[in-house]
Structure 1
Amino acid sequence: MSAKVLERFPAGSPRGSWPAEEYAAARRAEGEHATVVMDLNSDSFLVVLRDQGED
């Protein structure tokens, strides 16, 4: 998968807080193909912009 990282969020957010998901939802509302993935090496959530040609 080729993707562009839009933003990084630490995995240790307060309980009930989903900043990466909220950020990705805002990008999707603007028509971008944003999704959230976990980067295990850095223990963070990445909001990435996927290539439109991929499923």
Structure 2
Amino acid sequence: MTNWHEYLQCLERAGFRGAKMITSENTVIFSYALWLIGRTDYAVPLDRLREVLAR
């Protein structure tokens, strides 16, 4: 599974089920950047990263 698909699962866990629920595209891009930094630079475990970003 790619990082993007893993990130989308994180958005679903946070309660976002459709595009109409997201009010800012910039927030999605910023949080995806945090996701990538956590996964690649800091090797944060997937479950922990999902939980933190879903909050």
Shorter-chain TM range is 0.3 to 0.5
Question: Larger strand proportion, structure 1 or 2?
Answer: 1
TM-score (norm 2): 0.33
* Greater Rg over alpha carbons, structure: 1
